Structure 1
Amino acid sequence: MTTMLSVNLNAIAMLRNRRDLPWPSVTGLGRIALSAGAHGLTVHPRPDQRHVRFSDLPEIRALIDEEFPDAEFNIEGYPSDEFLSLVVDARAEQVTLVPDDPSQPTSDHGWDFGAQADFLKPIVARLKSEGARVSLFADADPAQIEAAAGTGCDRIELYTGPYGATHSDPKAAAEWVEKLGATADAAHRLGLGVNAGHDLTVQNLPPLVARIPELAEVSIGHGLTADALEYGMAEAVRRFRRACGQDV
């Protein structure tokens, strides 16, 4: 399986929002990313719209429909009524549900599936009835995966933040790769697809992909945007595609 790359546009939107100006263009840089071979675009529309704005969603949808019909729109967020309305209106191919408090600066943990499965089941069913693939944010904990599968979701997204934090500690990095790999193994045994995201880089992606050869997709924003400042968006996408094991 080839691991696909979805480019998270939130960091670009946050930079744009520092001024009351239309640049950097969220859709413009999304277009460059898709032209460079990204499989899709990811956004996380938070309630306070401090990153991607609600008004960005139809523009990104139109970009994909009109210029990149084979690409996917992945929208992630906490499943409030407002969020669910947004993703249904945007016709997201994939919806990634995260257990964020609105005040969190970024996603920093997965669902407690044992405690929250009954909450998630009807939401997953509703989104699937709308034609979306549903992925649930998950910690590196194989014991949680049976309950995750019980929600009816299609995939889990491994929260890789702790792995990203080991950037200067090779021993700890190897330990986290194994924890994430064991969780992916548990998911695959139960028929779930596996995505991953958070603090992934060109350097730490290859070991993860090697340990999880059936990793379906990674969504990357902060590290890719940082690379884009140095290399440009198109080359940053190509660098991350190579790190995913793609021929570029």
Structure 2
Amino acid sequence: MTAVSRLSVNVNAIAMLRNRRDLPWPSVTGLASIAMEAGAKGITVHPRPDERHIRKSDVFDLAELIEERFPNKELCLEGYPSPDFLKLVEEARPEQVLFVPDDPDQTTSDHGWDFSKGTGLLETAIAASKEWAITVSLFCNPDPSDPEHAARLGAERIEIYTGPYGACFDDADQAAKELDKVVATANAAKAVGLGVNAGHDLTVENIPALLAKAPFIREMSIGHGFTADALIYGFTESVRRFRQAMGEL
């Protein structure tokens, strides 16, 4: 029997490619289906206010796809907890929501929450999401002091920003230092009872070292690295490759 997958495929890049033309391909739902059929645990999307990649309509299409065809899979919505985003979360009812501290103009999520600043916005968003029976995760820097703050706010999980680790693909010594920060944060989250996710610039090359030290990580949201891999190997084979890197096959 194969292990339950940790892999959540982020299809933002597919939507970005589609949006270059006024055409319905490549299909976000079509490729999401291929990924889930191949064994991914679910799909992650980060709809931006300007809809430069994922559109609101994609969110509803993906929610419907999972409800009708993949009821054992999960949809995760990422976003800044603005009123518009919370309205989308309430209407789409994903299985999980990841709140990120992004400015609308950011090209990608590149830092976690600064918990030293006011957290009223997060507290409101977390309470609302729990009323909708949605699992709440907070995007955190690789800093072992952050998980305690996330737990105090009522989050059920954190997603550790692994960008600094992934950026060290050509520097083994620095990669080891960044990996230690990620692992320390994961252990701190586990110690306060939080589930641990990880995401950003994870690849088939750097995942094994992370899971060797933090095997309890329950989910990895992978978009850029997965899409780059899939351009060479195809969606089905890339799911297999990433799951193999995760020790699941």
Query: Could you tell me whether the CA contact under 8 Å between 2:161 and 2:200 is conserved in 1?
Result: yes
Instruction: Determine what percentage of the aligned residue pairs are the same residue.
Output: 59
Instruction: State the match for 2:88 in structure 1.
Output: 86
Shift of 1:136: 0.2
SS in 2 for 1:142: coil
SS of the residue 2:54 aligns to: coil
TM-score (norm 2): 0.97
Contact 1:195 / 1:217 at 8 angstroms: preserved in 2? yes
Following superposition, which runs of at least 4 residues in structure 1 exceed 6 angstroms of deviation?
none
1:149 Cα deviation after fit = 1.1
Contact 2:196-2:216 at 8 Å conserved across structures: yes
| Structure 2 counterpart of 1:46 | 48
State the 1:2 CA deviation. 5.8
Report the Cα distance in structure 1 between the residues aligned to 2:5 and 2:140, rounded to whole angstroms: 18
In structure 2, what is the equivalent of residue 168 of structure 1? Answer: 170
Supply the distance in 2 between the matched residues of 1:4 and 1:11 (Cα, whole angstroms). 20
| Partner Cα distance (1:245, 1:45) in 2 | 30
Note closer, same or farther for the CA distance 1:25–1:233 as it changes in structure 2 (3 Å cut).
same
Judge which range, 10-19 or 121-130, deviates more.
Answer: 121-130
For residues 94 and 205 of structure 1, the distance between their equivalents in structure 2, rounded to whole angstroms, comes to: 22
* 1:106 matches 2:108: yes
- Distance, in Å, in 2 between the alignment partners of 1:2 and 1:112 is 32
Deviation at residue 58 of structure 1 after TM alignment: 1.2
**Alpha-carbon distance, 1:3 to partner:** 5.8
1:120–1:155: structure 2 CA closer, same or farther, 3 Å change rule?
same
Q: 1:154 aligns with which of 156, 162, 166?
A: 156
| Post-superposition offset of 1:164 | 0.8
| 1:9 alignment counterpart | 11
d(CA) in 1 for partners of 2:247, 2:83: 38
Task: Select which of 58, 61, 72 maps to 1:59.
Answer: 61
Task: Give the whole-Å Cα distance in 2 for the aligned partners of 1:237 and 1:145.
Answer: 29
Q: TM-score, normalised by structure 1?
A: 0.97
Tell me, in whole angstroms, the C-alpha distance in 2 between the residues paired with 1:172 and 1:154: 30
The runs of 5 or more residues in structure 2 that have no matched partner are none
Query: How far apart in 2 are the matches of 1:58 and 1:183?
Result: 33
Per-residue Cα deviation, 1:61-109 (whole angstroms, up to 9, x for no partner): 1111111100000000101111011111111100000000000000000
**Which range moves more in the overlay, 141-150 or 74-83?**
141-150
CA contact (8 A) 1:61 1:90 kept: yes
Contact 1:140 1:183 in 2 (8 A): yes
RMSD, matched Cα: 1.1
Return the alpha-carbon distance in structure 2 between the equivalents of residues 186 and 87 of structure 1. 28
Q: Spell out, residue by residue over 1:121-158, the C-alpha distance to the aligned partner (whole angstroms, 9 max, x if none).
A: 12111101101000000001112222121110000000
The Cα offsets for residues 43-74 of structure 1, whole Å up to 9 and x where unpaired, read as 00000000101111111111111111000000
Unmatched tracts of structure 1, length 5 or more? none
Give the secondary-structure state (helix, strand or coil) at the position aligned to 1:73.
strand
Match of 2:214 in 1: 212
